[in-house]
Structure formats: C-alpha cells, structure tokens
Structure 1
Amino acid sequence: MVHQQRSQGRLSQSSDTKDRGGRGDRGDRDAIVALLAPRLVHFAGVARTEHVTRAAQEMQVPQSTLSRSMVRLEQDLGVELFARRGRTVSLTPAGRTFLTSVERALAEVERAADEVRADADPATGKVAFGFLHTMGAETVPGLLHAFRADHPRVRFSLVQNYGEAMLEKLRAGELDLCLTSPVPDAPDLVARRLDEQKLRLVVPADHRLASRRRIRLAEAAEDTFVTLEPGYGLRRITDDLCQEAGFKPRVAFEGEEAETLRGLVAAGLGVALLPPPAVARPGVVELTVTAPRAVREIGVAWLDGHPDTAPVAAFKKFLLSRRGSLLPA
C-alpha cells in the first residue's frame, strides 16, 4: 500500500479530482508509476548484490546516487525494503515481496523492447497490413508473394475488414498500411490511388437480363438489390452509382462479404454490383455496366506523420510501385 503522507504529498490527490470523470484511480496509478519507475532498476541491482558499492560499480552510477535512490524509494512506498549493515544490505520480507514483482516487471519491459526491435528489423521485421475482404482471395496473396521475393523474412500481420474499420485501426496504431476503397480523403491520413476495379452487375442465371453481356444500370432500376451493409465502401459506391443512374436501389438483404452476396444472387434473391470474383460462381451471370462508369478506386492509406519502420517503408515503396498494375488484368 502506498503511504501518501511520507511522500510529502506527491501521491496525494484531492477528492474533487477523483470525482471528475472517474479519473482519480488512474491519476493515482500514473503518479505512483512516475515516482517509482526510474528507481526500480536501481532497487533490483542493490537487491541482487546486497551491497551498495558493488551495485553502483556494476550499474556505473555514483554510490551516493544509488543510496539516495533507495532511500527515496522507501519513502515513496512508506516501507523499509532493506536492513542495512554499513555498505552491506539485505532484503526485508517486504523487500523480497517487492523484488519478485519488480523482476517480473523489468523482464516484461525487456521482452517488449526485444519485440519492438525485432518488428523494426529491416530483414525480419513485421508489417501490420489491412485490406478489403474482396482482395483477400487473389490480389493480396499475389502482392505478398511478389514482395517476399526480395524480402523473404519480413513478417506480416494481416487484417481483413471494411474500409472505415481499417481506417480506425490505422488511427489507433493497429495497422501500418491498408488497401481500401474508396480512397480516403482525411486530414490525418495520407492516401495514394493505386488502381481501379470494374464493377459488374451480377444477376441470377435465369434473370431477364442474363442473356445480355452489357447493360445500362438503369435497366435494373426495378430489381431488388443485395448489398453490403451501410459503412462499407462498396455499399456507398453502389448507392452513388444507382443515384447517378436515376434510381434508389430497393435493398432486400445486406451482408458483410461479397461472395455471400453472390450466393444470395445465385439463390434468386436479388442482383448486386460487385467486383469480379477470383473464381467464377455457378448460378450467376456477370454483366458489364456501360453507364454510368462502374468502377471503384483502390488506394493505399497510412497515418500522416507516423514514422515507418524499415520493413513498413519497404512494403509501402513496393505498393506504390504497383500503381496501375495492382489488380489482376
């Protein structure tokens, strides 16, 4: 337990502050950590050697600095950690209890430092990469295969999601880069257009338009649509294209994945505007839309001002080099 009086008020906090927004506990914790953290390595060194002079030599700090650090640590905790006999010290029961947790905490910090250094390693580091579900079957595997030809040991953490969710992960620091559509325009992000993908009107095999190869989208104005849920980029594009064609789509089913929508179309439950499939699906016909121009732009985005590790920088450069040839022909 932290003894606040002996730390001369440095850990104390008014009841008003504790009551505002429930931040009192966090404020106490932050204050304790700020006070104790710089002294934990010193404590562990003295506890290991049980000799202040020897610990000071090993850690290459002045003996007086080390002695003051231990005294202040005990004052901040309000607990005696050492029994002193000249320059020789031994842990009290409280000191032994504290040492167990301190060693565990320092080991976790060391593990975390090793992990972030490994992730930043130019040859073996990690890239957190997000992409749309519709790019997972063919496009992204092809990109990773091509990139790893020159960077065979770079590791990837892959996240499939819809556009807005990936942008939030970028902002939260959970992703380094993402392939998304539409290409975002936001002040906190940097985005570069890489390619565009034609969208097709997918209809059931027995649909009245199934014998056609090319249609105007307005010809489907009376059909029921199956679409992705609101918030998905492809849903926004579908709504915009239908509006440009002069109608608002009547939506019967909303899903989260393009191939599920193809299954709904095959079952005769509606029509859909979708990018080409990786593998042709039976039961549907995919029609070229001549008007309006039915495409979606694919771009790469990252957080503005966010420093890149070497593997992230290499993969970003690789993606930008694929402008105009990102997608299969």
Structure 2
Amino acid sequence: MDDPLTASVPALAPRVALLDALAEESNLTRAAALAGVPQPTASRWLAELGEQLGTPLVTRAGRGIRLTKAGQRLAEAARRAAGELRLGYRAALAEADPERGQVSLAFLHTMGGVRVPELLAGFRTAHPGVRFDLVQGAHEEILQRLRTGEADLVLTAPLPADDPALHTRALAQQPLVAVVPAGHRLATRRRVRLAELAESEFVSLKPGFGLRGIIDGLLAEAGCTPRISFEGEEADTLRGMVAARLGVAVLPESEPLPNPGTVEIPLQSPAFREIGLVWSAERPLLPAVRTFRDYATGARRTP
C-alpha cells in the first residue's frame, strides 16, 4: 500500500508559500495574496490538508483565523522549507549567471604549479564573481569525475580519442625533456636520444597517469625497457628524486625553470604531450562553465 505521506508530498509543495504566509498573517485574504493564489484556492488547500491529516489546520479567531497546534507545526516546517527554497533559488540564479556561477575544474597534478594558476588568474581578472572548485588527480581519475558529473571541465593530457560522450579541445603542446641530475654524464649535451638513457634507472609517474602512458610509449619506440626505481604521483616529486640522484626521468619541460640540482635536455626526436580541455557531450554546460571554457579555448562557437 502506498505511503500516504509520500503520496501527498507533490501536493504539499505549492502550499508551502501559503503556510509560510499564514505563520505571519491572521487574515486568509492577505496570506493568500502573499502566496500569490486566490482566496478560494487558499481555503480549498487548507481544507484538503486538514482532511489528509485528519485535523484542521486553522480555526476562527474573531474576524480572522489562527493556526491550530497541528497547523503551527506544519507552518513551522513550511517556513524552514521556504527558507531552503529561497536559498536554493538564489543559488540557482547564481549558477545561471555567467558572472556569478561556479566551475568545477579537475586537472593533472603536473598542471597545478603554473599552468592552472595562470589560467585562473587571467580569467578572474575579467570575471571576478565566478567561483572555482578545483580537484587534482590522475588522468583516468579526473576523466571519471567528468563522466559522473563531479567535474564540469577537465584539463588533461593526452586528450581522450574516439569517445562520443566527450568533447575535447587542444590548448597547447608541451615539450617532453630528459631530466638528469646535475653532473650526470649527459648533463652537458644539447640534445639526447632516449636510447642513451637505457642503462639508467628511471623515476616515473604511477600507471594510470596519462603522462606515464605517453612516456612508456616513447621508451618502447626507442627500444628501451626502463628499470624503474620509484613511482610517484607528482612531477615535482620526481624532479626531487632526480636531484637526489635516484634516477633519471622523462617529463614535461619545467614551468618556468628546472629544479635546482637537475638539468633538462631536449630530446633528439622532439616529443610533446598535447594538453587540452574536455567536457561532456551529454550534459549542457552552465553559463559560468561555458564562459570559462570559451576563455580557456579561445572559442566563440563550441558545442
């Protein structure tokens, strides 16, 4: 058998404003006007609610009305609900405003040092009212956040290919370099072939990071099977490991300068990772999110 309370919830929703008004007014005509409904409709709603509850919500008090004890209880709940609705409405208005909404942006750890802060700083100069919810993570992790709706936009590399559920837009190509300790036998070279690193121990990102997949592919093409001594989650940690002479690495070029104790050498066969923005093709973007996407991509017309 259906729960009568559950069945009555849809009918309660439009009556919340009336009950909220009745908590302030002892006159049904004025309460109905505040709620934006005709007085006959207000009278009918109160009668219907009283029948559902098995007890009246209002009683006569001279030339006006007053709430019964049951009516007071329901009106108190209605006032709380109305307050929440007003807050929700204001929040919804803010989200619908391209200058006041919130953007949930997920990005790779390797982009948190300079690239993302510079992007946000430039955007906030023109749009100071937009708020950001920022999340860092591995490539697959942040793409999953996007698919489940936890993130509005993802800044990542490599860009996912052949996925009809996602839109992508390339933003930049970031050179990959060999990172070796200062004093390393290759540190004075102007360029280096990946095969020349084959005998060295490597420090690398953990599997599941997009950059790890790119670098593993490059090393395989060069005929290298790297001996990995350490796997981490942040490029800066790996650079620290290289400086401590715990291995060499292949990483994106530092922004803005290499870490002390390390030397970055361009690759003989230049390699890049393509950085780009990803968003859902299945959900419309809120105005503030769309504004940031267009700023980041430099696009005027994008799906």
| TM-score bracket for the superposition, by shorter chain length | 0.7 to 0.9
Indicate yes or no: 2:55 matched with 1:67.
no
- The Cα offsets for residues 130-154 of structure 1, whole Å up to 9 and x where unpaired, read as 3222222222232233334443444
Match of 1:170 among 146, 151, 158: 146
Q: Aligned partners of 2:283 and 2:264: how far apart in 1? A: 41
Match of 1:285 among 251, 258, 263: 263
Task: Give secondary structure in 2 for the equivalent of 1:80.
Answer: coil
Contact 2:192-2:265 at 8 Å conserved across structures: yes
Q: 1:34 and 1:10, CA in 2 relative to 1: closer, same or farther beyond 3 A?
A: farther
Which residue matches 1:209?
A: 186
Q: Aligned partners of 1:124 and 1:59: how far apart in 2? A: 29
Q: Which amino acid aligns with 1:316?
A: R
Give 5+ residue unaligned stretches, structure 2: none
Indicate yes or no: 2:112 matched with 1:120.
no
Q: Which amino acid aligns with 1:304?
A: A
Q: Aligned partners of 1:240 and 1:81: how far apart in 2? A: 75
Task: Give secondary structure in 1 for the equivalent of 2:24.
Answer: helix
Which residue matches 1:327?
A: none
Tell me the matched-pair count.
Answer: 296
Which residue matches 1:179?
A: 155
Contact 1:52-1:89 at 8 Å conserved across structures: yes
Contact 2:23-2:75 at 8 Å conserved across structures: yes
Match of 1:11 among 3, 22, 25: 3
Task: Give secondary structure in 1 for the equivalent of 2:151.
Answer: coil
Q: 1:151 and 1:58, CA in 2 relative to 1: closer, same or farther beyond 3 A?
A: closer
Contact 1:120-1:126 at 8 Å conserved across structures: no
Q: Which amino acid aligns with 1:34?
A: P
Where in structure 2 are the equivalents of 1:310-321 lying within 5 Å?
310-321=287-298
Where in structure 2 are the equivalents of 1:57-206 lying within 5 Å?
57-76=33-52, 78=53, 80=55, 82-85=57-60, 88-185=64-161, 186-206=163-183
TM-score by length of 2: 0.85
Contact 2:206-2:231 at 8 Å conserved across structures: yes
The CA deviation at 1:301 is: 1.0
CA RMSD, Structure 1 to Structure 2 (Å): 2.7
Indicate yes or no: 2:233 matched with 1:241.
no
Which residue matches 2:243?
A: 266
- The Cα offsets for residues 289-325 of structure 1, whole Å up to 9 and x where unpaired, read as 224x421110111111433343333322222228xxx
Q: Aligned partners of 1:153 and 1:163: how far apart in 2? A: 29
Give 5+ residue unaligned stretches, structure 1: 1-8, 13-27, 323-329
Match of 1:229 among 206, 209, 221: 206
The CA deviation at 1:88 is: 4.2
Task: Work out the percentage of aligned pairs sharing the same amino acid.
Answer: 46
Q: Aligned partners of 1:257 and 1:207: how far apart in 2? A: 23
Q: 1:105 and 1:83, CA in 2 relative to 1: closer, same or farther beyond 3 A?
A: closer
TM-score by length of 1: 0.79
Q: 1:200 and 1:41, CA in 2 relative to 1: closer, same or farther beyond 3 A?
A: same
Q: Aligned partners of 1:115 and 1:109: how far apart in 2? A: 10
Q: Aligned partners of 1:80 and 1:256: how far apart in 2? A: 63
